[in-house]
Structure 1
Amino acid sequence: MSQDNVTARDLMRSLPGVLRRFPFIARGLYYYAVKDDKKELTLGKLVERNASKYPNRPAILCDDQTITWQEFDAWSNRIAHYLKDQGLVKGDAIAVLLDNRPELLALVAGAGKVGVACAMLNTSQKGKVLTHSINLIEPKMLVVGDELLEHAEGIRKEIDLKHSNPFLYLADTNTLNIYGDAPEGYVNLAQEVSRCPSARPTLSNPVVMGDTVVYLYTSGTTGLPKAAPGSHRKFIRAYGGFGMLSLAMEPEDVLYCTLPLYHGTALLVCWGSVLAGGSAIALRRKFSASAFWDDVRRYKATTFGYVGELCRYLLNQPPSDQDRNHSLTKMIGNGLRPSIWKEFKDRFGIETVAELYASSEGNIGFSNFFNMDNTVGFSTAPYKLVKYHEGTRDPIRTEKGRLEEVEKGEPGLLIGEITKKWAFEGYTQKEATEKSILRDAFKNGDAWFNTGDVLKEIGCRHLQFVDRMGDTFRWKGENVSTTEVENIIDGSGMVQEAIVYGVEIPNTNGKAGMVTLVPQNPEADFDVDRLFAYLSDNLPAYAIPVFVRVTHAIEKTGTFKYRKVDIQKLGYSLDRPHEEVYAWLPGTSGYTRLTPELVSDIDSGGVRF
């Protein structure tokens, strides 16, 4: 198979492997295709099924802890009873601010058993952005881990929680039976939960597949994060589609996950796959390239969850005679670039790359079911690739107001048809949901979800990811909203205007953030260190612009729109000698003014971001 082509012959060659997975495929297709939102098929039921079938097998591995499926089910039941005793009912929500810890999964499962949804807060958020994310959901309670207490304390007076005892604390003891001491004003959640019964809760209004179980945050084009409700259906689809169809997970499998569990890739895809096999998930707080393979060997992991950036970091480690001394044979995730796909598989001996395409809020997903190279796979959902306006998320409409498909092999904006089977759950904000829907696209009355992403077909209905479009870009495995960053910069009082966008750096994944700005006082020297300090206080690290261009005017069109595409093409070059360009270099705590020598180092890969 060539890099950019999937042929019928390639698919035929993959058939022996597909046939070996046939028992998993048959079950996976059933779960992936379940339509009845009233069916009592939920995350809680999946946990209970594994507790019954594999009671003494490990469900979670973390540091020195091993938690079996039976123990995990009982733990989640105690959490369910606690929330129920606190007056929470089906349809309510709690906000969760925790690192990758077993408690996080127990909270999601336990809350889900009584119909309470968990808003999965991004642990990098703080200040105004975190306040917005919490208030958007109107949760009853906030669960805070000791490791993130400072983030919560910084916004405590700004958030509106709907409960008499809303602040719940989890000590960072790393031991199930040691609860620590809660700070003043917080309830010691672990201690309270330990007093609750471990029997499965009974409800007069049972939880069903269509009920919301999590809220996942996505950086949107309207500014601050948007919250996308995720129903139990999303876990069921991941359970069948990824755990069975793509990975054929079994009880002996261990999936090593360093991706943050507030992300859909980790929570839905990775944990959903683990649930499907009655397997174990091995957790690490933060990704570490140097510790990665030691952890894999320690946990005897057979699978791991990835984003493309993670794979590049592993490749950047010095080659070792231990590179194949491990039990990993499978990987699942998204963003593995064709430029490193084969190199990664060959160096580390990976057999199956279950690359996927999906979004937290979307109604369409792709999976590399046939284990082809350089593709997100195919989808059974109805979709089209259409012509779009360069540099935007907007499709091109004909004179008759209809969309046009691109030629086969040409990049196009991916849109997914919204039907009863392929519902679009949208966001908590109705206007944000409506903005993502394209109506009357090909005929009167039809509706399509606009992914905002550009992909192309490379044969046999297999797609390859090309780029994110419009006002969102991806950096360090995170989606960054340009409008969100612009709003924060505007609030600094240091600029007249600012425009944020993503720029490519050679030999890196995604796009690095860059801002072109006009200082509030163009006559004075711009205090770039003050800007960096302000951004550090108000933005997660991945959203802080890597590059800053200081200018006296930003060029606009005749209708006062920024010439964003032109500015983007300029990147961090020094082609405009009257402008200053700064970079946040790796390992530094501020911006450094670029010189021709530094630009050359960055372009040649001498500076690794």
Structure 2
Amino acid sequence: MSRTSSDTITWSMMLRKLPSIAKALPRVVKGMKVANVKDPTQPCGLGWSFEQATLRNPDGPALLYGELSLSYAQVNRWANRIAHHLIEQGIGKGDVVAVFIENRPELLVTILAVTKVGAISALLNTSQTGDTLVHSVNLVAPVAIVVGEELVPTFLAVRERVSIEAARTWFVADQNTYNHPGIAPEGFINLMTASVDADSDNPATSQQVYFDDPCFYIYTSGTTGLPKAGVFKHGRWMRSFVSFGRVALDMRPADVVYCTLPLYHATGLCVCWGSAISGASGFAIRRRFSASQFWSDVRKYRATTIGYVGELCRYLVDQPPSADDSRHGVIKMIGNGLRPDAWREFKTRFGVSHICELYAASDGNIGFTNILNFDNTVGFSLMSWALAAYDHDSGTPTRAANGFMRKVGKGEQGLLLAKIDDKAPLDGYTDPQKTEKVVLHDVFVKGDRYFNTGDLLRHIGFGHAQFVDRLGDTYRWKGENVSTTEVENILLKHPHVSEAVAYGVEIRNTNGRAGMAAITPAESLATLDFSELLAFARQQMPAYAVPLFLRVKVKMETTATFKYQKTRLKDEAFDPSRTGDDPIYAWLPGTDTYVQVTQQMLSDIQGGLYRY
């Protein structure tokens, strides 16, 4: 499926940005100096950067949550007390402390305290339970765990299967523990009570953390298997918080970032919180995203900046229009995954002038940022990268007769490869074998090494890239490559479709994968005219990309980071006996509408009665 000419960045577009470039250049140069820590004895990282922000803006708001507002000095002293207590309990540099708390100030203060010790926070996904949770804990062998009251039942269900001694099983009450520590249940130590009288000065250990020391373990979502623990080092924290907060957003003490994203993932924790810390700015958080309360929260906290992922924006756009839509102080937003169909609507309806779309992966070594505020791009990267030709069936980059890979041309989509060097080291995973699987050797010259992101991007000019798809989210049908993202974007233009997830499914005795889409009607199933919907799809996209099957869902299931659960959708495919209350529809060869699939029709399709 082809791009539109408006995607390409031209000379005239760049010339119009010259004033912005001239304005940004000094902070870019200064930011690069701060971010590019090379001295192995230079203190840096999360604890160091927070202490610097505290010196810069001690009385300014650091954390806002509900009616609670804590200054940088207050948060820093709170984290220091916890850090000193952890040290007294024998927690030292390089030890792993599992953290299992939902979005609230106690989560961030605990993480900050652990990093000041020089220990590593294993950021457990708060939606995990049972075997997956046991796997995630045991994978990193923590010497201690901090459990929020809201997750105690989940932890108790697996406690006997993880090896953490009771004396280091800490509890954090689900309330304002800055003022009211609460009471721990039997078998737990109340972390806030135990640390309340500890020293509140910066611990010496926070000056003994260096760029190559691990800061967090951040888990992959595990949608296609058990989660992996990605290593996020303090040197990468420095690159992240400077690149996004100082260079891209130019954060200042008067700014406030509002974030409803889960803080066990890098976008919320490193991009959004890191951006706030870089400017000694406020960081306002909410336990969970609420579309109906989003803008009222923004006004309450006087936010100037919001963190987002694409589906969050979609939910906000789908809210009924209001006279208050642009009555707020937000002028910039940072995140990823905003679809082209929602980009302009979001920008104009809500009056946000700068959409700082980014590309990054918690387990990778490269980041792109839309510093110059072009539409529909992840921006550019100062790291060394290339888009390589790849084999669609295997998903691996192809090599020419000389043994090296081929870079695709401008405007073409290719597999994003990020060079691994001193400037962009790969922190990888806790499991070295899993790290080695994503490293490519002898790519363009003998001896070079590249990280295989597994993502497809398109070069649109002047070093800028456009995200196309996850490699696993493209499929091949009728000899053509189909991008699920582009199919979804087109379906979402239909007035009666509010959500769309596209994927490929197998039909017996055919080559490749046929297109299928799960859709949520904007109103109800009764409002969908399947003949008209098919005609719309056929008009808007190439014949090979038109979905052959539709699954109609009242509500689309997503992960905590608003990612659709495609693995399950692909597995259940178009078998009505496996899709519960979701009706399945098929476009049969030679017809001009979608018809509901019965078990008999399923047998006929899989038996080859219809020639696809």
Q: How far apart in 2 are the matches of 1:177 and 1:252? A: 26
| Seq. identity, % | 43
Report deviation, 1:472: 11
Q: 1:368 to 1:415 in 2, by over 3 A?
A: same
Q: Secondary structure at the residue paired with 2:230?
A: strand
CA distance 1:304–1:545, shift in 2 (3 Å): closer
Match of 1:522 in 2: none
The equivalent of 1:586 in structure 2 is: none
- Aligned mates of 1:214, 1:438 — CA distance in 2: 25
Q: CA RMSD in A?
A: 3.0
**Match of residue 61 from structure 1:** 64
Partner of 1:33: 36
Deviation at 1:143, TM superposition (A): 0.9
Q: Which amino acid aligns with 2:427?
A: E
- Note the residue ranges of structure 2 that are not aligned, 5 or more in a row: 476-483, 493-497, 509-558, 588-592, 597-612
Give the whole-Å Cα distance in 1 for the aligned partners of 2:223 and 2:568: 21
| Selected match of 1:288 from 287, 290, 314 | 290
Q: TM-score, normalised by structure 1?
A: 0.80
Q: Deviations over 1:544-567 (max 9, x none)?
A: 957968xxxxxxxxxxxxxxxxx7
Q: Residue 51 of structure 1 contacts residue 73 of structure 1 at CA under 8 Å; is this kept in 2?
A: yes
The residue type equivalent to 1:344 in the other structure is: F
Query: How far apart in 2 are the matches of 1:323 and 1:2?
Result: 31
Counterpart among 391, 403, 406 of residue 404 in structure 1: 406
**1:581–1:399 Cα change, 3 Å:** farther
Query: For residues 197 and 391 of structure 1, do their structure 2 counterparts lie closer, same or farther at Cα, with a shift above 3 Å needed?
Result: farther
Which of 133, 145, 148 is 1:142 aligned to?
A: 145
**1:321–1:246 distance in 2 versus 1, CA, 3 Å:** same
Q: Deviation string for 1:4-29 (max 9, x for gaps)?
A: 11122212212223333455333222
What is the alpha-carbon distance in structure 1 between the residues aligned to residue 185 and residue 387 of structure 2? 53
Q: Note the alpha carbon deviations across 1:335-389, whole angstroms, 9 max, x for none.
A: 1111211111011111111111011111111111111111000111111101112
Q: Choose from 80, 87, 91 the match for 2:90.
A: 87
Deviation of 1:323 (Å): 0.7
Match of 1:119 among 108, 122, 143: 122
Whether 2:384 is the aligned partner of 1:382: answer yes
CA deviation after TM superposition for structure 1 residue 393, in Å: 3.7
1:580 is paired with a residue whose SS is: coil
- Is the 1:454–1:468 Cα contact (8 Å) retained in structure 2? yes
Number of the residue aligned with 1:184? 186
Match of 2:583 in 1: 594
1:224 pairs with one of 207, 223, 226: 226
Aligned to 2:157: 154
Counterpart check, 1:580 vs 2:576 = yes
Which position in structure 1 is the counterpart of 2:99? 96
Report whether the alignment pairs 1:6 with 2:9.
Answer: yes
SS of 1:144's equivalent in the other structure is strand
Output the CA distance in 1 between the equivalents of 2:206 and 2:373: 45
SS at match of 1:465: strand
Q: For 1:510 and 1:334, locate their aligned partners in 2 and report how far apart those are by CA, in whole Å.
A: 18
Deviation at 1:217, TM superposition (A): 0.7
2:472 match: secondary structure = coil
- 8 A contact 1:211–1:231 mirrored in 2: yes
Q: Which moved more, 1:87-96 or 1:164-173?
A: 164-173
* Contact residue 253 and residue 301 of structure 1 kept, 8 A: yes
Q: Distance in 2 between matches of 1:106 and 1:466?
A: 37
Q: Which letter does structure 2 place at the counterpart of 1:110?
A: A
Aligned AA for 2:576? E
Structure 1 residues 548 and 66 mapped into 2: Cα distance closer, same or farther (>3 Å)?
Answer: closer
- Checking the alignment, whether the CA contact within 8 Å between 2:166 and 2:188 is kept in structure 1 is no
Match of 2:433 in 1: 431
Structure 1 position 307, deviation (Å): 0.5
1:400 deviation in Å?
3.5
Match of 1:248 among 250, 253, 269: 250
Q: Is the alpha carbon distance of 1:516 and 1:90 closer, same or farther for their aligned partners in structure 2, counting shifts above 3 Å? A: farther
Among 439, 448, 451, which residue is 1:449 paired with?
451
Q: Secondary structure of 1:592's partner?
A: coil
SS of 1:165's partner is helix
Q: Which residue of 1 aligns with 2:512?
A: none
CA contact (8 A) 1:31 1:239 kept: no
309, 313, 318: which one aligns with 1:311? 313
Query: Does the residue aligned with 2:146 lie in a helix, a strand or coil?
Result: strand
Deviation, 1:513, is: 8.3
Residues 437 and 450 in structure 1, CA contact (< 8 A), matched pair in contact too: yes
Q: How many Å separate the matches in 2 of 1:212 and 1:548?
A: 34
- The separation in 2 between residues aligned to 1:542 and 1:54, in whole angstroms, is 34
Contact 1:392–1:471 under 8 Å retained in 2: no
TM-fit CA distance, 1:37: 3.9
Cα–Cα, structure 1 residues 265 and 16, in superposed 2: closer, same or farther, change >3 Å?
A: same
Alignment of 1:315-326 (within 5 A): 315-326=317-328
Residue identity matched to 2:316: L
Superposition deviation, residue 150 in structure 1: 1.8
Q: Distance in 2 between matches of 1:256 and 1:283?
A: 6
Structure 2 residue aligned with 1:359: 361
Equivalent position of 1:576 in the other structure: none
Report Cα offsets for 1:429-478 as digits up to 9, x if no partner. Answer: 011000000111122221100000000011111000000113899xxxxx
Q: Which residue of 2 aligns with 1:258?
A: 260
Q: Which amino acid aligns with 1:334?
A: N
Letter in 2 for 1:82: H
In the alignment, the residues of structure 1 paired with residue 502 and residue 428 of structure 2 have an alpha-carbon distance, to the nearest angstrom, of 27
Residue 440 of structure 2 aligns to which amino acid in structure 1?
A: L
User: What is the distance in 1 between the residues matched to 2:502 and 2:168?
Assistant: 38
Change beyond 3 A, Cα 1:396–1:596: same
| Equivalent position amino acid for 1:228 in 2 | G
Q: Secondary structure at the match of 2:109?
A: helix
Contact preservation (8 Å) 2:224, 2:567 = no
Write the distance in 2 (CA, Å) between the matches of 1:390 and 1:600: 29
Alpha-carbon distance, 1:164 to partner: 5.3
Match of 2:79 in 1: 76
Correspondent of 2:174 among 164, 172, 175: 172
Compared with structure 1, are the counterparts of its residues 448 and 222 closer, same or farther at alpha carbon in structure 2 (3 Å cutoff)?
Answer: farther
What is the SS of the residue equivalent to 1:287? Answer: coil
1:510 Cα deviation after fit: 8.1
Q: What is the distance in 1 between the residues matched to 2:341 and 2:595?
A: 21
How far has the Cα of 1:93 moved from its partner? 1.0
Aligned to 2:108: 105
Call closer, same or farther: CA 1:105–1:279 in 2, change over 3 Å: same
Moved more, 175-184 or 217-226: 217-226
The CA deviation at 1:321 is: 1.0
Compared CA separation, residues 540 and 346, structure 1 to 2 (3 A): closer
1:348–1:451 distance in 2 versus 1, CA, 3 Å:
same
Query: What secondary structure sits across from 1:213 in the alignment?
Result: strand
Which of 202, 205, 214 aligns to 2:204? It is: 202
Map of 2:524 onto structure 1: none
For 1:560, the equivalent position in structure 2 comes to none
Cα-to-partner distance string for 1:274-333 (whole Å, 9 max, x where unaligned): 011110000001011110000000001000000011111110011111111100000001
Partner amino acid, structure 2, of 1:580: P
Deviation at 1:511, TM superposition (A): 4.3
The Cα shift of 1:221 comes to: 8.9
Give the deviation of 1:36 after TM superposition. Answer: 2.9
Supply the distance in 1 between the matched residues of 2:381 and 2:568 (Cα, whole angstroms): 40
Q: Which amino acid aligns with 1:271?
A: W
CA distance in 2: counterparts of 1:514 and 1:285, whole angstroms: 35
Matched residue type, 1:282:
A
- In the TM superposition, residue 222 of structure 1 has moved relative to its aligned partner by 7.7
Taking the aligned partners of 1:74 and 1:192, their CA distance within structure 2 comes to: 15
| Mapped partners of 2:193, 2:405: distance in 1 | 57
Which structure has more RCO (C-alpha within 8 Å, separation ≥ 6)?
A: 1
Deviates more, 1:49-58 or 1:326-335: 49-58
Letter in 2 for 1:592: D
Q: 1:5 to 1:120 in 2, by over 3 A?
A: same
